[in-house]
Structures are given as C-alpha cells and as structure tokens.
Structure 1
Amino acid sequence: MSKKYTPEFSRIVNTEEQVSKKEKIILEASAQERAALAKRFELVSIDSLTAELTIIAASNGEVTVRGPMHAQIVQSCVTTLEPVPEMVEDEVKVLFSPHVSEEDMPSNPDDLEDLSEDELMALLDQPEPLVDGKIDVGEVVSQFLAVAMNPYPRKDGAELPDAALIEEEADEERPNPFAKLAGLKEQLEKKK
C-alpha cells in the first residue's frame, strides 16, 4: 500500500475559480511549515520563507505562476559542520498546462539517463501538468528554494579537514607513471 505524499508547505490555488485572469497572492510559511521543510531539505533551520506570486490564466487553459521568493536559511558548513546563514532569493516562474499529462513526465531519475541533451532541454521547456485546475503554489516555492540554495555551504575561512589535506599531499608525493615512461624514452633516444 503506497503512502500519499503531503507537502510540508501547501497552498492550493484553484485556477478555475479565479475571478480575474490575473491574481496576486502572498505566501508566508509558518514556523511549523518551515521546521518541516528544514527537516526535508536537511537544513539547520529556515527562519523565513515568503513569496509574492502572480497567477495568470490564459484563454487556452494554461496558467503561469511567477514572482520573487525570499528565504533566510541556516545550513551546516560542509567542512566544519558549523551553522552557515544564507539569504536565498529567486524568481519563481512556472508554466502549467492542462494539455500535458502526468504520464508524459519522467517519474524517477532513471528515466532521464538515456535522454540526449536536446531531449533534456526540451523536457525543461515543457509545461508542468495542470490537474483539475489546481496548483500547489506552496510546493512550487519549496522546490525553487531547494534548487536556489547553496549546495555546498562553507563558513568563511573554513579549511578542508586535516584528513583531506593529508590525502592531497599523498597524491602529490606519488610518482607519476608517465614521468617514468618519459625518462625511459629519453634513455632510449640517448642510446641511438
């Protein structure tokens, strides 16, 4: 029996009930939602997460969601594990279409392995599926946060751990096998 995933920061917008073709909404994650998202993204904390989105419905049924997203997060330094605060800012921009089916979208990363670069780029340009006229704009903002934050946060002045430095030094001390071949080549040329 499969468990249905429930987003930590969910704000459903029913585009079929929009009064006008253009609507502005302001989102702000609660303390509980931020804590749950921090756990999902393996962050120390998310101190704020807001977005000001404009939802534009076109006559063909497609819906564009766009606007600025701001977050104040704290991650662990990749070298020292100390907290590293970061201000994350990004521009949300997603096109949803009722003409795209969820079955047309890859369901797992393995589906992407055999695609060419052109096919991957075409997939990135493809609209997201719009199912029953509903969009979870909170989840859209969460996904933009995940992509926009620094994947390798490092505290100012943080150095590599000693073990990594020792390994780098050991690599430098190892003789280069091609250097030996070059020396052998020189010796053979001198004998000629």
Structure 2
Amino acid sequence: MKIVIINYGAGNIQSIRFAIQRLGYEAILSNDPKDIQAADKVIFPGVGEASSAMKKLRASGLDNLIPNLKQPVLGICLGMQLMCNSSEEGSTEGLGIFDVDVVRFSNRVKVPQIGWNEISNLKSDLFKGIGEKEYIYLVHSYYAPICNDTIAVSEYELNYSAALGRANFYGTQFHPEKSSDGGERILQNFLEM
C-alpha cells in the first residue's frame, strides 16, 4: 500500500509517520502531485496558521489537487480545517470539501484548548472498535461547528465537530498520532478503508 503524507511545510509530519510505522506501514512525505495522485491513502496534516498554510497550498497547486482526489484522504487538525469552506483565522478561504465555516472559540474559555477530551456521537467506519467517550488529544483555538458532515463530536464551551466526513474525505480536529491506543486504532481504520 502506498501512503503519502502531504509535505507542504505546515505539518506535524514526523509524528504521523512514526505512528504509521508503529502500525507496520511505511509512508512517504511528498508534495509531488504524481506521488499524491498515485497513493492508495493520503494524509493531509497541518499545524500552524490557516492563511499562511493555504498560501503554501496555492503556491504548489495542491489547493486544486486535494479536493479532486478519489482515494481516502485524512485531514488532521489544521488539515481538517483547511478542508472546510473557510476559517476565521486570517479570513481564509478553504478547499470547500466540507460544507462548514471554521470559527474561533469565544473569549469565555482559555484558548487554545490543549489536552485530552472525549469524543462521542461516532458515525463512521473511521471509529470502528472505538467506544463512545474515547479520549483523544487536541490543540486548537478554532473549530468546525456541528454540521451535516459531522461524524464525531467533542465539547469545549459548546459541542463542536471533532471529526468530519464526506465521500472519500475524512478530517479529525484531534491528533490521532498523539491520542494513544484509540488514536492508533483510528489511523489503522483509515489505512484499512
């Protein structure tokens, strides 16, 4: 199986690569459209700020490539947010895969939300073998509200989308590669799709 982690200069790519190795697979890091299109599975990571990450995607033409991929694609953290219509962070236009706009938590709570939190309302094979109230690891100041593409929910000030899914595209606001056994199971489920 060919697994490609998109390397566009805004990712936590090594920790994802190591998590995949622990599951017995190898992943390559690439921003080459040929590699990405030929992959069986694509992981779209993201750490940092939305508008600068989108500039990097546009500069490499990946903003046009990613929404047209036909194989399973997993966006992680900022990667998931960039797959949405837009983000309040830097007034950023997203890739429009998920039909929701990313917004900032209010000033009533401490941001970023950092640490372990529960997920519930699990609605996808991505969560096969994962129980309701599984703990996952998050670091974020922005979130996707509950929408038609929501496949898991978490709560911080309010209920929000912990994961999104539509067709062959999946996104997790949390970091499966840092979420212990449950996170590894979620990665395994994605790789087995």
Q: TM-score, with normalisation over the residues of structure 2?
A: 0.23
Which structure is higher in RCO with an 8 Å CA cutoff and minimum separation 6? Answer: 1
